[in-house]
Amino acid sequence: MKITALLLLLSSFVLSQTFKEKYRPQLHFTPPKYWMNDPNGMIYMNGEYHFWGHAKSKDMVHWEHLPVALYEEDGIAMWSGTAIQPQDSNNTMVLLYAGMDRKKGIQTTNVAFSKDNGKTFNKYQNNPVINPNLRDFRDPKIFYYAPGNYYVVVVVLSDKSVVRFHKTVDFLTFQIMSEFGPAGAAGGWECPDVFEMKVSGTTESKYVVMVSTSGTIGYFVGSFNGTHFSNHQPWIRLDMGTDFYAAQTFNGLPDQRRVIMGWMCNFGYVGSQPTDPWRGVQTYPRELLLVKNNDSYKIASQLVRETHLLVNRTVSHAFHVDVDSEQELTFKDARGRVSVIGVQVELKSDTKGFGIKVLMSADGSEYTLIDYNVATKKLRIDRSKSGNVDFNENFLKANAEMEVVPDKDGVVMVDVLVDVSAVEVFANQVAMSAVVFPNAASSDGLAFVSHGSSVLKNFVEVDLNSMYDK
């Protein structure tokens, strides 16, 4: 992906930044200043998470911004990349990144090495290490293949919608092994990720190939024999929201744990979002689980377990409350500007739907609506009254909705991560993400409305501290 995050953070600015500007998220990672897009070089190494960047964390929820580690040189732009800790080293970090030759217009794979846990890097003097002389060859991702004791690097040939698998043992020489794609998901692939996952509750494992395409991101599930990926089912979209792209998982996590972050981006309006002095935001870290239903596999998404480190207070606003048709419950003691909301609704025979209002202004005129329709079984994010909606004509044209089937007792469960200018919704183990831009400084209200009568079994607000609070 273009305009890499490897070139963003200015240490002098970091020291003076307050991170309290209008629209500045308090849970979601943003650069102090300027532009940020694809998450890059995500790795867990020697007790720290690294994110390029450069930023580091001990828990994925509090981040420390660091000085720029690598700059563009000699007309080779630095685009998206990946990081890994070699198997035989303690402090060595290897970065592979896409290089774009500004004169020739070709894209290559380049390498840089750190011997001090990622504090400083040296580019390999004979870069590039992979050069097929192509214009659409980018976004390398590396993983270690233990059965063969070698590393596998996947790179997209974007115009062909395929990923190419390479083998290396030294990060300097590479052997092409195979290609996979488009497998029914054509559209210009970017930012691949390949990893093994255990199927929850079993000893079975599968390989996942994840790619971003046409402004969305999805995945294939299959097997990998060390050289070739065999797909077992159609491509599945990972996030059903308006703003989720170029996501990557952390390398180096123990026990095959998979945690993902993505760029909250929609190409229809990302360039004109009304944030200043920065532009670009990452999703909150999500834990991925592979679940099996009959003969098909699906990735389930949930908030990372480390979220508990941010908890400030927990308030139960409602418990087994009968709600009349079109009755709106407004929770006066809500402070839902930076929080997780958990809602359980029991549907009745006359229930047509319900709505959860978050980031609501004091007068109730401004809010982001999470709306459920019983007839269609669709949950959607409605931003039409969310605040600043006219900064770009495409903002309200983008739709976020997903299917949510009630459980056997007729209950719909929805969790919402609310931040100053970002909303992430989780239901039926699926997520959808959206950026929002409330105008009112008082936009921390919460409300519930029922279309037809229903039972609000639970409405819990867990207020979170800012990632910048120490």
Catalytic residues: 38
| 216 lies in the same domain as 318 | no
Which residue's entry shows tokens 């192509």?
134
Q: Give the structural domain span for 298.
A: 5-303
| 33 lies in the same domain as 159 | yes
**CA 466 – CA 411 distance, rounded (Å):** 32
DSSP run (H or E) holding 378:
strand 378-382
pLDDT, position 9: 42
Closest CA to 6 of 76, 71, 90, 59: 71
Which of 276, 303, 330 is a domain's end point?
303
**What is the CATH classification number for the domain harbouring 57?**
2.115.10.20
Three-state DSSP at 13 gives helix
Which residue's entry shows tokens 């450069």?
54
- Residue 49 placed within a domain: yes
- Residue 361 placed within a domain: yes
Q: Note whether 309 and 59 are within 8 A (CB).
A: yes
**CA 422 – CA 281 distance, rounded (Å):** 9
| 352 lies in the same domain as 434 | yes
Which of 303, 331, 353 is a domain's end point?
303
What's phi and psi for 315, nearest 5 deg? -130, 130
| CA 455 to each of CA 171, 324, 459: distance values in angstroms, whole numbers, following the listed order | 59, 9, 11
The tokens describing 237, both together, are 């979209």
Q: Note whether 344 and 442 are within 8 A (CB).
A: no
| 195 lies in the same domain as 340 | no
Q: How many domains does the chain have?
A: 2
The tokens describing 270, both together, are 């990302």
Closest CA to 432 of 443, 417, 447: 417
- Residue 62 placed within a domain: yes
pTM: 0.95
- Residue 469 placed within a domain: no
Burial of 407 (0-12, 13-18, 19+ CB in 10 A): exposed
**CA 380 – CA 212 distance, rounded (Å):** 22
| 197 lies in the same domain as 339 | no
Which of 303, 337, 366 is a domain's end point?
303
**What is the CATH classification number for the domain harbouring 368?**
2.60.120.560
pLDDT, position 1: 55
| 325 lies in the same domain as 341 | yes
**CA 232 – CA 347 distance, rounded (Å):** 36
| 196 lies in the same domain as 342 | no
| 255 lies in the same domain as 340 | no
pLDDT, position 52: 87
- Residues with Cβ < 8 Å from 71, sequence gap 6 or more? 7, 78
| 294 lies in the same domain as 363 | no
Name the DSSP class of 199.
B
DSSP β-ladder status, 278-279 and 34-35:
parallel
Name the DSSP class of 14.
H
| 289 lies in the same domain as 346 | no
- Residue 156 placed within a domain: yes
Name the DSSP class of 270.
G
Q: What DSSP string runs through 410-449?
A: SEEEEEEEEETTEEEEEETTEEEEEE-----TT--EEEEE
| 108 lies in the same domain as 90 | yes
| 272 lies in the same domain as 317 | no
Across the 470 residues of the chain, what is the mean pLDDT of every consecutive 10-residue run? 46 57 97 94 97 92 92 94 96 98 98 95 98 98 98 98 98 99 95 98 97 97 99 98 98 94 97 96 98 96 98 95 96 93 98 98 97 98 98 97 97 99 97 97 94 97 94
Three-state DSSP at 309 gives helix
- Residue 470 placed within a domain: no
pLDDT, position 7: 43
Asked if residue 277 has a cis previous peptide bond (ω within 30° of 0), the answer is yes
**CA 466 – CA 310 distance, rounded (Å):** 7
CB neighbour burial string for 326-339, b if at least 16 within 10 angstroms, e if fewer: eeebebeebebbbb
**Cβ atoms within 10 Å of 443's Cβ, excluding its own:** 24
